[in-house]
A and B are shown apart, each in its own frame.
Chain A
Amino acid sequence: MIRAVLLAAGVAVLSLPALAATQAEAEAALAAAKAAETEALAAKAAWTTTEANLSKSVKALAACNWEEAKATADEALALARRSVEQAEEQKTIWRNAVFR
């Protein structure tokens, strides 16, 4: 029984580094999010929430909190991509809302 518990604990400890974000992963996530936001800004489609998540990610990165830096960068990436999609969709469907 004790051996089984120790084995489980060992596996859990060994798998921790695999679960936690590394500095490289956080930096890559932030770079991807920034690139997507650049596209959103160029399309005049950026959202305030994307900017807020980017700021949080930058701060977390500076504080060596890779986990939070990656999570907020991933959130920013998703928001930036959606904002660009929204702008693309609206290019045609806005006319459906016009009063006639």
Chain B
Amino acid sequence: MIRDSQRDRYALARNVACALLLAAAPAQAADEKIDPEADRKALQAFVFAKFPKVAKEDFGNGPYAVNAEMRKQWLEIMQFPPYELALDEGRAEWEKPFANGKHYADCFDNKGVSIRQTYPRFISATGQVETLEGAINRCRAQNGEKPLDPMTDTMASLTAVMAESSRGKPFAISIPDDPRALAAYDRGKEFYYSRKGQLGVSCASCHNSPAGERLRGDILAPTVGITAGMPIYRSDWGSMGTTIRRIASCSSQTRALPLNPDDEDYRDVEYFISYMSNGIPITGPGTRP
């Protein structure tokens, strides 16, 4: 029979061991290296293994890549793509000169053609992530024009024009060797994996393991390639929408109050999600249920 004093010593030793383990745990989390490339490889390996019959190039088509029935319907829809009108409006807006006579094309590398796959970008001068919508608004500001609301059809139409010129180009999001860029990436990763809203759901809750499954009438798209089809004509909206509009509506669906469309958190999470899609060709503008 173990004596009381001996039992006390065992208990004390157990408590000390637990305390040491607990003390070590936060240090381990804090020391965790930010390694975007390792994250991308791990997530893409999971998604490609989950959908072995889906070609890598097809992941930019979201739910239509992973569900045969939806794909059939989508191919029918694409006989007359619902984003065509927005593309026409976008082209007209793109060509329309600003009051000072300059154009959107004057603000971008390669006149804005075939560059969508490089957005969002980390801008060293500001130390922040800039989305395509942010770049368009910066261009407008530089030319004395008022910014556009990133949630509007007009903004989506402009990004549709830029996306169309990048179709087939693989996502090539760059994270420069700058601690601020890595921090922005990590904040985006935190947003992606953090449970939010009254439903306590994270982006990952729907778009990692459950990708391809049904959520009511919808098929959940995998994260890999999810922004490649942006902007999208969404039947649910009856209009075009930007990536930010989609992220904000996802927030609402979890019963989280959406943030300001230009909030740093939204830009950072788009940076993270887009980096996870590196190598997946642009398919936008797209259409979704």
The answer to whether A and B belong to the same complex is yes
A29 within 8 A of B: no
Contacts of A48 in B (CB 8 A): 197-198, 252, 255-257
A3 within 8 A of B: no
A98 within 8 A of B: yes
Contacts of A79 in B (CB 8 A): 198
A99 touches B196 (CB 8 A): no
Which one of B39-47, B161-169, B212-220, B231-239 contacts A?
B39-47
Q: Which of A44, A83, A94, A98 contacts B259 (CB 8 A)?
A: A44
Contacts of B257 in A (CB 8 A): 41, 46-48, 50-51
A97 touches B42 (CB 8 A): no
Overall SS of chain A's interface:
helix
Number of A-B contacts (CB under 8 A): 54
B133 within 8 A of A: no
A38 within 8 A of B: no
Contacts of B263 in A (CB 8 A): 44
Q: Which of B29, B39, B259 contacts A99 (CB 8 A)?
A: B39
Measured CB to CB, the closest approach of chain B to A78, in angstroms, equals 11
Query: How many residues on chain A are close to B (CB under 8 Å)?
Result: 21
A57 to B213, CA, bound (A): 39
Measured CB to CB, the closest approach of chain A to B232, in angstroms, equals 23
Known A46-B256, A48-B257: A99·B208 in contact at CB below 8 Å: yes
B39 touches A86 (CB 8 A): no
A49 touches B198 (CB 8 A): yes
Measured CB to CB, the closest approach of chain A to B102, in angstroms, equals 36
Nearest-neighbor residue (CB-CB) of B44 within chain A: A99
A95 to B204, CA, bound (A): 12
B193 touches A95 (CB 8 A): yes
Measured CB to CB, the closest approach of chain B to A92, in angstroms, equals 7
Contacts of B267 in A (CB 8 A): none
A90 touches B195 (CB 8 A): yes
Measured CB to CB, the closest approach of chain B to A98, in angstroms, equals 6
Contacts of A95 in B (CB 8 A): 29, 32, 193
A94 touches B256 (CB 8 A): no
